[in-house]
Amino acid sequence: MTIDHEDAALLAGLEALLGPRGFTRDPDDLAPWLVDWRGRVRGQALALLSPADAGQVAAIVRAAATARMPLVPQGGNTSMVAGATPPAHGRALIVSLRRMRAILGVSPEDGVAIVEAGVTLSALHEAAEAVGMRFPLSLAAKGTATIGGLISTNAGGTQVLRFGPMRALVLGVEAVLPDGARFDGLSALRKDNRGYDLRQLLGGAEGTLGIITAAALRLVPAIGARAVGWAGLETPQAALGLLRRLEAATGAAVESFELVPEVALDLVLRHIPGTRAPLAGRHRWNVLVEATAPTGAPDPAGALGAALAQAIDDGLVADATVSASEAQAEALWKLRESISEAERADGMAAKHDVAVPVSAMPGFIESARQAVEARFPTTRVIAFGHLGDGNVHFNVRAPMGEDGRAWLAREGAGVSAFVHDLTVAAGGSISAEHGIGQTKLADYARLADPARLAAQRAIKAALDPLGLMNPGKLVPLAPEPPAP
Ligand code: FAD
Ligand code: MLT
Ligand code: ZN
């Protein structure tokens, strides 16, 4: 990319501001951050900026505004929708928050952790555990995904059933707004009714309204005991029936309820070393369920085991097991959490992250699978994930023997449009938890309610009138007005 005189001056100023640890243009340093986690979308950037504190973030944003330079905020770069991948064309700088990883405070009394945006989810879990608390949101990318990225995508994960998504756990944020102003909203109040809520506006904004530099997050008491169960059954409808039974039988101790089809389990067993089948036989569908108990309460394994045994007697479940140790619990979780990794190792798929009303999900999974496989013969659907939240990852894999990348380039957009049309027809959302990013932008523009789109564009224009914050993500450009 050629650099004009003004951009060269901007880059020289930023290099002087950030120093060698905070500024690089070396292509080898940049390479991993120019492509999304799935390896589908590639972009370009003039430099990778890694500020050390919020003051440096504000200085970057002000300098970029003066030079009309687009900025792409980036955390762990684990986005499933290429939200942190810079654009393929034009100028942009990546602003990585990964150096800002201080745990600023953890208070069991207030039930609050205050952390910088680049802290990983695993580091937050550890900091909370060290004081007898926990942060009740988890997902497979926890070792890499950062608090800034999780807030900016309003991430979900495997404990939404009980604790809600990221938005429900954010008490306050500190951020740099697109004009360079610093918003200090870290007060972590449990109640605060001063009108429009910037904290919630920045949540799920995918970096289009500013850069989050720190956050105050809700903690809950550590659990006393947990039990993880695995059950094999015939249909998603049986799985949902099982969830309601287990909730009743365990006194609402169920925290996670994840659907795993046989085909996803097969991929994990094939591609992920150290995994083994949890049950003796094969089952078209499986669920992983976790039940927890507070300190001092009876171990939930007893109630979970009894409820699963009853479900087998009643013919709802074919076979089941309950972890007898922490190691067994972890081994069962590994089967669930490795699905994305195994899918990636297996080849390309058109990925979808759909939500419909919980009770409609079993019917949707079956009817949408039939419709997709009829319309795109020889493709293979894998629907897995957060059944208890009415959200599955409804992925469509390339036909056997086809070059997956070529198939995705040729058919991907059509397959996704088809799946998204079915989702909207079922009253659902085309993004339950991953966001819109780049990969869903066209379908979002096509299918979103016009009033929602207009309001989002108005908010974007009001806060980022120059359109420099993560352009090309989340907010579709307004159509050109008709010629007079
Ligand atoms: P990035 O990918 O770096 O960025 C994501 C978005 O946030 C981008 O738009 C970026 O511009 C913006 N952003 C990042 N940091 C900031 C900041 N400080 N300020 C402003 N904007 C910022 N998601 C789920 O919801 N549930 C799951 O179960 C789940 N499982 C996953 C499993 C795997 C194996 C992987 C790879 C991803 C998974 N995800 C899941 C995707 C999920 O969106 C991310 O893991 C996480 O939310 C992104 O964090 P990140 O730090 O990697 O953000
Ligand atoms: C998951 O639930 O494992 C994820 O959101 C990741 C994916 O969709 O692949
Ligand atoms: Zn998910």
Ligand nearest to the CA of 206: 1
d(CA 404, CA 400): 9
Task: Give the pLDDT mean for 326-342.
Answer: 97
pTM above 0.90, yes or no: yes
Which pLDDT tens digit goes with each residue over 186-219? 988 888 899 999 999 999 999 999 999 999 999 9
Q: Is the dihedral of CA 213, 218, 221, 222 positive or negative?
A: negative
Tell me the CA–centroid distance for residue 78 and ligand 1, in Å. 5
Alpha-helix runs per DSSP H in 139-261: 147-152, 160-163, 198-202, 236-249
Question: Given a cut of 80, is residue 483 above it in pLDDT?
Answer: no
pLDDT of residue 269: 98
Q: Is the CB of 318 under 6 A from ligand 1?
A: no
In the block, which residue shows the tokens 């087998």?
A: 312
CA-proximal residue: ligand 2, atom 7 (nearest): 340
Residue 148 alpha carbon, nearest atom of ligand 1: 18
Ligand nearest to the CA of 148: 1
Q: How many helices (H) and strands (E) does the chain have?
A: 16, 19
Ranges for all domains in the chain classified under CATH 3.30.70.2740: 347-425
pLDDT of residue 252: 83
d(CA 134, CA 310): 32
Tell me the CA–centroid distance for residue 163 and ligand 3, in Å. 15
CATH class of 5-96: alpha beta
Task: Give the pLDDT mean for 346-351.
Answer: 92
- Burial tier of 108 (Cβ tally within 10 Å: 0-12, 13-18, 19+): middle
Ligand nearest to the CA of 340: 2
Query: Binning pLDDT at 50, 70 and 90, where does residue 484 land?
Result: confident
Could you tell me which residues come within 8 angstroms of residue 251 by beta carbon, excluding any fewer than 6 positions away?
A: 303
Tell me the CA–centroid distance for residue 460 and ligand 1, in Å. 20
Residues with CB under 6 A from ligand 2: 80, 140, 339-340, 353, 385, 393
What's the CATH number for 347-425? 3.30.70.2740
Q: Are strands 133-134 and 285-294 parallel, antiparallel or unpaired?
A: unpaired
Tell me the CA–centroid distance for residue 337 and ligand 1, in Å. 16
Side-chain half-sphere CA neighbours of 15 within 13 A: 12
Does domain 224-340 fall under CATH 3.30.980.20? My reply is no
Q: Is the CB of 469 under 6 A from ligand 1?
A: no
Return the best residue to mutate from 153, 212, 271, 343 for the ligand 1 pocket (most ligand atoms within 8 A of CB). 153
In this prediction the ipTM stands at 0.99
pLDDT of residue 474: 97
Assess contact for 312 and 230: CB atoms under 8 A: no
Does domain 103-221 fall under CATH 3.30.465.10? My reply is yes
